[in-house]
Amino acid sequence: MSTSVFRELPGLSEAWTVTRGANAVVAVVDEAVDVHDHPEFVGRVLRGNDEARQTAGDGSYIHRPHGAKVAGIALANGPHVTGVAPEAQLLPVAVNALSHIIGHPSEADAIRWAAAHGADVICCAWAPPDLTGKRGRLPSRTRAALDYSIEFGRGGKGCVIIFSAGNVGRDIRLNGYASHPGVITVGACNCHGTHPSYSGYGEALWCVFPSNDPGDHVGAWMTYLTTAPVGSLLNGDAYYTTRFGFTSAACAGIAGICALIVSANPNLTAHEVKQVLRSSCEKIDASSGTYDARGHSPLYGYGRPDVVRAVHLATQHEKVQTASV
């Protein structure tokens, strides 16, 4: 069974009475973001860094749907899928190397390119595949790109950068991307508001978003209906849609919420967007979450965002308690 973002995010329809994400630009940085001619994104796709479809040596199309799935959760708006911010604009940013390696210089160039080409929110729904040895280390070139984007993006207000906590169920202190102090790191909670074992955890976790949980008989089926690349019908997807879950879907959901926040108040800095998100969070699983005096849990960060509260805090940002990151 698939669920829609609309159903799984209580209050989203109320938040949309304030904003549906208009004028916010979400850059999806992924191995490919193939949404060419997609009915769910008509009129809202900006020219990305690589418009070419990838083909194999025999000329056949290489099916890489991850970026399209991420984009659908964040901002689709068509006949079959409605994302969190359905009036936001999509900036597709392809990093071909992500299909086989994390840490390639092209990832840094892509993040910097997105910041330089109008991105308000930069969604990186990926993580090192194995947090052992050097594999989770953040390359200096990528660190510099993150620093540049957070400081100079959006005309000096800073791009809001979001990373997945990963699906290996380990402490994200070993993940240099997720542990960067300027980014928003997103884990998953399940439909019961508890921790799925695959979701990364730790001090650097900022918040969680509902996703599937293979270890739970109900949560195992709670994936989202999202977008698949046009032409993927031959790969078993129907009406250009497919199912999606884990921390990539959670990361995409938070990217959509951040687009709503930025749309509601474009004057917010990247740091202020983080604080709005933090202040909107509901503390879930209070008995087992081991929240500290700051209200932070290693399993849930500051909790699960309330999208209505987040949008209203954005419009009245003077009420946000600006705690240090």
The H or E element spanning position 46 is none
> Would residue 247 count as lying in a domain?
yes
Q: Pairing state of beta strands 223-227 and 207-210? A: unpaired
Supply the pLDDT for residue 272.
97
User: What domain range includes position 155?
Assistant: 2-319
117-142 burial, b for 16+ CB within 10 Å, e for fewer? bebbbbbbbbbbeebeeeebbbbebb
Supply the pLDDT for residue 324.
43
- Estimate to the nearest angstrom the gap between the alpha carbon of 91 and the chain centroid: 14
> Would residue 248 count as lying in a domain?
yes
Provide the terminal-to-terminal Cα distance of the chain, rounded to the nearest Å.
Answer: 38
> Would residue 269 count as lying in a domain?
yes
Rounded Cα–Cα distance for residues 174 and 158 (Å) = 25
- Positions of the chain with pLDDT under 50: 1, 52, 59, 319-325
> Would residue 324 count as lying in a domain?
no
CB 65 within 8 A of CB 229: yes
> Would residue 113 count as lying in a domain?
yes
Which residue, among 61, 135, 124, has the nearest Cα to 101 in the 3D structure?
Answer: 135
CB 123 within 8 A of CB 251: yes
> Would residue 15 count as lying in a domain?
yes
Q: How far is residue 307 from each of residues 182, 185, 197, measured CA to CA in Å? A: 21, 17, 25
Rounded Cα–Cα distance for residues 221 and 245 (Å) = 9
> Would residue 325 count as lying in a domain?
no
Single-letter amino acid, residue 171:
D
Residues with catalytic function: 30, 66, 248
Residue 264 corresponds to which tokens in the numbers above?
């509601």
Question: How many domains is the chain partitioned into structurally?
Answer: 1
CATH number at residue 174: 3.40.50.200
> Would residue 130 count as lying in a domain?
yes
